[in-house]
Amino acid sequence: MFSLVLQLCLAALTLAAPIDSDPTFTVQADAWQYGTGGGILGFIVLVIDVLAWMEILKSNRPPLHKILWCVLIFILPVVGVIIYWLFADRAKHNSGAGYEPIA
């Protein structure tokens, strides 16, 4: 039953792909039209999110608070980082000692 549902989903995806009857290829001089700017912006957001995660995991917060902040940043990458840097009271929880020992 699962394989039938999977095959139907894959068939629906292939039918949803756009097909152009006139395949003409043109070269554009402006790479921003093809999403390069979005790729650069996405990479910057990724780097900022990773830096925020490292700061959260190094802090002396309780584990539940660390998880909640990390989940917020994972679900809302841009807004989550802004909320974290505005409302997290980073100076109070910055231990500066590195990661906590597990045992």
Closest of 2, 25, 86 to residue 52, by C-alpha: 86
Separation between Cα atoms, residue 8 and residue 66, nearest integer Å: 41
Each domain of the chain, given as residue ranges in start order, spans: 32-92
Question: What local confidence, expressed as pLDDT, does residue 96 receive?
Answer: 62
For the chain, give the mean pLDDT: 76
pLDDT at 2 over 90: no
pTM: 0.56
Give the residue with greater pLDDT, 89 vs 70. 70
Query: Is the CB of residue 34 less than 8 Å from the CB of residue 28?
Result: yes
* Confidence class for position 21, pLDDT limits 50, 70, 90: low
